[in-house]
Amino acid sequence: MNTDTKSCPIIANHIKVALVGQPNVGKSMLINSVSNSHLHVGNFSGVTVDKTEVLFDYKDYHFTVVDLPGTYAFTDYTIEERVTHDYLCAEEYDIIINVLDSTNLEKNLQLTSELLTMSKKVVLALNMSDEAQKENILIDAEYMSELLGVPCVKVSAATKEGIEELIDAVVVQHENDSVTPKLVFSEPVEEEIAQIVWYLDKHKYSAVNTHRNIAINLLKNNKKTYAKLHDEPIWIELQPILIEASRHIELHHDSDDIKESFAEEYASFNRGIVAEVVKQKNIVENKTITERIDTVLIHPILGIPIFLFFMWGLFQLTFEIGAIPMDYIDMFFGWFGDTIGSTIANDDIRSLIVDGIISGVGAVVLFVPNIIILFIGIALLESTGYMSRVAFLLDGFFHKFGLHGQSFIPLVTGFGCSIPAYMSARILKNDRDRLLTLFIIGFMSCGARLPVYVLFAGAFFSPEMAGNILFIIYISGAMLGLLAAKVLKLTAFKGVDEPFVMEMPKYRLPSVKLIWHTVLTKTMMYLKKAGTFIAAASMLVWFLSNYPHNTILEESYSAKIEATQSEIEKNVLQNRLDEVLLEQSYLGTIGKFSEPIFAPLGFDWKMSVALQTGLAAKEVVVSTLGVLYSLGGDVDEDNNSLMGAISKNISFASAVAFIVVIMIYLPCLAASVVFTREAGHIKYFFYLFFFTSVVAYVMAFIAYNVTLLIV
Amino acid sequence: MKTLIDCDRACKVKVLKLNAKDDLKQRLISFGIMKETIIEVLEHAPAKSTIEIKVGKMRIALRAQEAELIEVQKI
């Protein structure tokens, strides 16, 4: 099994598999254990929002597995469902693996029964068989295969049990010429189907699908089948038969909705199957563990305080534990810079390497411990199933602000990184709801902003307070986001609310491997960004802050420095020179130019520049400040650290205003690109830019002046 | 007429009719909520804005507005 063979040649023994299942049945996890690849896995609906392809080889076969987003039924209600629906209907593939949750077979079969009417080869993977065993649910897979007419294989993605059998079954099924699943409806429906089939047979109607399939699709009001037959000559005679048949079925089901009638048909068929093949030993009516946990965690009164406590704890840990290795990292980069610096003779190159790259990248790497803790927290939230509970608790509250309870999932993801958050907003079906959520995801401070917060919180508050300050920053950002949502809902995104119907998954103990993997991937991404993008940006900032050289200024100052006797005087002059040089650099010019705009917020030109470079990425804010303050103005020789420089050079009120701007304005270049893609039009990006900039400016102005009054 | 929102916690009911419009109805059906389905009400969120129900083995969260569209009968 090899995932590296990306170029999969189209040859005879190539099998293209579509992986389909209801949400949260472990499709991605199954694909991971089949191919040893690493897709993101969570414990709530809608982790896979787009189709993903995985290639691997097994026993002379090339496999392409397409992991499709989870779908409860074969409909096109949400975007994910549409992705799956359209793929299954229109794309080329050889076989479907339908993944089912063994512990909840009846519900999962609802989708299966629809797949079985598609005249495609299907293999059923009864996943989570280890969990089923624990719950004393015994499934007779062989009997089930016989009853349904398709192979059913018990597997467990978690323990990798049955994976080989599953692939073998896929190969066997693929080699088979054609297979007709045995899906039987109630007698009245079967009669109507037979009637239509008989008619199609009589007229020797030729089609790719079987006549039975066409009949079922017609009865189910399948638009495509209708469109196709509508242009055929037999339609004229077929139509009255169909109308009559539909009327009979509706009468039988006492309903005026044929789709509902068919859903009931499927449900009763599935009930029959489950009754035959599932034996549950010692059924205890006791509450399950999940229910017992739920009585506490979603308690009407205690639920929300418990949630807030968890979040508070997470930010405390982020700061407290994250602070421990920070000194060492800081020391390391200081030492590293000095060591490297001493080996370089050329002044300019040394300055570029030490003051530019090393201090810029170092300032970002410093926050890796905080990032890791935050990511672990979010991964835990995702994988345990608690996320859905919070959505449940907060829906009422969110709804008041015009948001959907499920908006909570992208919003929380936004605390990690805005990019996956923008993508996960796809779980919202309604376009207005989705756009609204997209607009306020930026208010949830992403991991990249954490360094700026930690830096400023550490500079102005004692270590005991800093964790609380961090919590306040995050919560007030979120609150502001809710208010912004309300304003947008009342103005730009007026409309009907989307219904809130959501599955609450079982609680699962998070697997250490999974958490480790998720956190590792995200941390490596952060480090990679530090090594490439941030390093490049640091070099640019360094260049802009060092050039053009002003030799006249340098000479006049060095003459003055030569002339003075006292060491202190010399130091002051040297610092004065650095300051003046920086001010006349390109960056200084840009900063000075934009300073009047930011002056009402109390920013000096260095902060103005840092905000502008921060449009590229929030980490760049820190590295820019690092470069700017390491070059000039740092008077105290004993305190080289950036935190010290900031608390010395920036007033408290300006710092508060700065944090407010960071909280609100555009996340970063990459996120903006993803936002534009998800929102569907470039105009939304300009709206977002305008909206966030104005809000950031106004809020920062208020924050600055209020702080000035209080302190 | 009794709807799902009128039910207390730990109350078991049978669905009589879905009064939802097409899209939402499909959604409910795909979650296994249809005529004759047995529903158990598990929890209420603060102010009964959202309720948690159990259908078969699946737990589902529903907003009050949606729950009102499900006509039920106590069993």
**A528-564: burial string, b at 16+ Cβ within 10 Å, e else:** ebbeebbbebbbbbbebbbeeeeeeeeeebeeebeee
Of A110, A298, A391, the CB nearest to B43: A298
Same domain, A404 and A536: yes
A300·B66 Cβ contact <8 A: no
Same domain, A168 and A146: yes
pLDDT digits (tens, 9 = 90+) for A569-587: 777 777 777 777 777 888 8
Question: Which range, A102-111, A229-238, A282-291, has the best average confidence (pLDDT)?
Answer: A102-111
Give the residue from A624, A44, A677 showing the smallest Cα distance to A419.
A677
| Confidence grade of residue A4 (pLDDT, cut at 50, 70, 90) | very low
Q: Is residue A578 part of a domain?
A: no
CATH number of the domain within which A137 lies: 3.40.50.300
B28·A501 Cβ contact <8 A: yes
Give the residue from B67, B68, B56 showing the smallest Cα distance to A103.
B56
> Beta A501-504 vs A152-154: how paired, if at all?
unpaired
Counting residues of chain A whose pLDDT is more than 70, the rounded percentage is 92
pLDDT digits (tens, 9 = 90+) for A491-539: 888 877 777 888 888 888 887 877 887 788 778 877 887 778 778 877 8
> Beta B50-55 vs B58-63: how paired, if at all?
antiparallel
Residue of B nearest to A507 (CA): B59
Q: Is residue A282 part of a domain?
A: no
A499·B24 Cβ contact <8 A: yes
Same domain, A429 and A519: yes
Q: In sequence order, what are the beta bridge partners of B71? A: B3, B17
Residue A639 has pLDDT above 60, yes or no: no
| Confidence grade of residue A698 (pLDDT, cut at 50, 70, 90) | very high
Q: Give me the number of domains chain B comprises.
A: 1
Same domain, A104 and A197: no
Same domain, A76 and A141: yes
Same domain, A245 and A142: no
CB atoms within 10 A of CB A484: 20
> Beta A121-127 vs A152-154: how paired, if at all?
parallel
* CB contact B60 to A (< 8 Å): yes
Q: What is the mean pLDDT of residues A63-77?
A: 82
B44 min Cα distance to partner chain A (Å): 7
Q: Is residue A320 part of a domain?
A: yes
Give the residue from A359, A362, A358, A341 showing the smallest Cα distance to A350.
A341
B66·A290 Cβ contact <8 A: no
Structure tokens at A14: 């190539």
Give the residue from A55, A43, A675, A622 showing the smallest Cα distance to A382.
A43
C-alpha to C-alpha distance for A402 and A486, rounded to whole angstroms: 6
ipTM of the complex: 0.90
| Confidence grade of residue A638 (pLDDT, cut at 50, 70, 90) | very low
Give the residue from A646, A651, A640, A644 showing the smallest Cα distance to A602.
A651
Reduced to 3 states, what is the DSSP secondary structure of residue A152?
A: strand
Higher pLDDT, A627 or A688: A688
Same domain, A436 and A537: yes
| Confidence grade of residue A687 (pLDDT, cut at 50, 70, 90) | very high
pLDDT of residue A701: 94
Largest CA distance in chain A: 113
Q: Describe the crossing of helices A141-148 and A258-277 by its angle, rounded to 10 degrees.
A: 140
Least confident range from A42-51, A218-227, A652-661, B60-69: namely: A42-51
* CB contact B38 to A (< 8 Å): no
Q: Is residue A573 part of a domain?
A: no
By a Cβ cutoff of 8 Å, what residues of chain A touch chain B?
72-73, 75, 77, 103-104, 106-107, 110, 253, 255, 257, 259-260, 263-264, 267, 290-291, 294-295, 298, 300-301, 303-304, 388, 391-393, 395-397, 399, 405, 497, 499-504
Of A75, A396, A503, the CB nearest to B46: A396
Mean per-residue pLDDT of chain A: 82
Q: Give me the number of domains chain A comprises.
A: 3
Same domain, A203 and A333: no
pLDDT digits (tens, 9 = 90+) for B12-55: 999 998 888 878 888 888 888 888 889 999 888 877 888 999 98
Owning domain of residue B8: 4-74
pLDDT digits (tens, 9 = 90+) for A40-67: 555 555 555 567 777 888 778 888 888 8
Q: Is residue A560 part of a domain?
A: no
B45·A393 Cβ contact <8 A: yes
Q: Is residue A146 part of a domain?
A: yes
**A151-186: burial string, b at 16+ Cβ within 10 Å, e else:** bbbbbbbbeebbbeebbebbbebbeeeeeebebebe
Same domain, A614 and A682: yes
| Confidence grade of residue A696 (pLDDT, cut at 50, 70, 90) | very high
Same domain, A487 and A529: yes
pLDDT of residue A37: 60
Owning domain of residue A159: 14-175
The last residue of a domain, from among A175, A204, A233? A175
Q: In sequence order, what are the beta bridge partners of A15? A: A63
Reduced to 3 states, what is the DSSP secondary structure of residue A99?
A: strand
pLDDT digits (tens, 9 = 90+) for A319-375: 678 778 877 888 888 888 888 888 888 888 888 888 778 877 887 787 788 778 877
Q: Is residue A8 part of a domain?
A: no
Least confident range from A81-90, A91-100, A552-561: namely: A552-561
pLDDT of residue A7: 46
pLDDT of residue A690: 93
B63·A395 Cβ contact <8 A: yes
DSSP E strands: which ranges in A233-294? 278-280
Q: What is the mean pLDDT of residues A162-173?
A: 89
The last residue of a domain, from among A254, A277, A299? A254
**Length of chain B, please?**
75
B32·A300 Cβ contact <8 A: no
Same domain, A125 and A225: no
CATH number of the domain within which B57 lies: 2.30.30.90
In degrees rounded to 5, what are phi and psi of residue A677? -65, -45
A391·B61 Cβ contact <8 A: yes
* CB contact B25 to A (< 8 Å): yes
Residue A393 has pLDDT above 60, yes or no: yes
Residue A630 has pLDDT above 70, yes or no: no
**A290-308: burial string, b at 16+ Cβ within 10 Å, e else:** ebebbeebbbeeebbebbe
Q: What is the mean pLDDT of residues A656-685?
A: 87
Structure tokens at A478: 């979120």
| Confidence grade of residue A634 (pLDDT, cut at 50, 70, 90) | very low
Residue of B nearest to A498 (CA): B24
* CB contact B50 to A (< 8 Å): yes
Of B23, B28, B61, the CB nearest to A504: B61
Give the residue from A433, A436, A431, A422 showing the smallest Cα distance to A487.
A436
Residue A480 has pLDDT above 60, yes or no: yes
Q: Is residue A279 part of a domain?
A: no
Same domain, A363 and A463: yes
| Three-state DSSP string of A26-68 | CHHHHHHHHHCCCCCCCCCCCCCCCCEEEEEEECCEEEEEEEC
pLDDT of residue A290: 83
B58·A77 Cβ contact <8 A: no
| Confidence grade of residue A483 (pLDDT, cut at 50, 70, 90) | very high
Residue A438 has pLDDT above 80, yes or no: yes
Chain centroid offset of residue A321 CA: 25
pLDDT digits (tens, 9 = 90+) for A284-316: 556 678 888 888 888 888 888 998 898 888 877
The last residue of a domain, from among A230, A254, A278? A254
CA distances from A69 to A40, A88, A95, A118, B7 (A): 12, 11, 17, 18, 34
Measured between beta carbons, the chain B residues lying within 8 angstroms of A391 are 61
